[in-house]
Amino acid sequence: MWGANRDWARISGAAAILQKLILYFAIPKGEVIDEPTVGCCLHNYLFDKLTDNTICLLEMEMADELKSQIPELGVHKVSAEQTDTESVKLTITGYSTWLLNISREDLLDINLLDVFGGAS
- Inside any domain, residue 66: yes
pTM of the model: 0.73
- Report the domain count for the chain: 1
- Domain enclosing residue 40, as ranges: 14-116
- Inside any domain, residue 61: yes
Strands (E), the chain: 77-82, 87-93, 97-103
Query: What DSSP state is assigned to residue 28?
Result: B
Share of the chain above pLDDT 90, in %: 18
Q: 97-114 burial, b if ≥16 CB within 10 A, otherwise e?
A: ebebebebebbeeeebee
Q: Is the pLDDT of residue 14 over 60?
A: yes
- Inside any domain, residue 70: yes
- Inside any domain, residue 6: no
- Inside any domain, residue 111: yes
- Inside any domain, residue 100: yes
- Inside any domain, residue 3: no
- Mean pLDDT of the region 33-61: 89
The CATH number of whichever domain residue 18 belongs to comes to: 3.10.450.40
- The tens digit of pLDDT for each residue in 53-104 reads 988 999 999 999 999 999 888 888 888 888 776 677 888 887 766 656 566 6
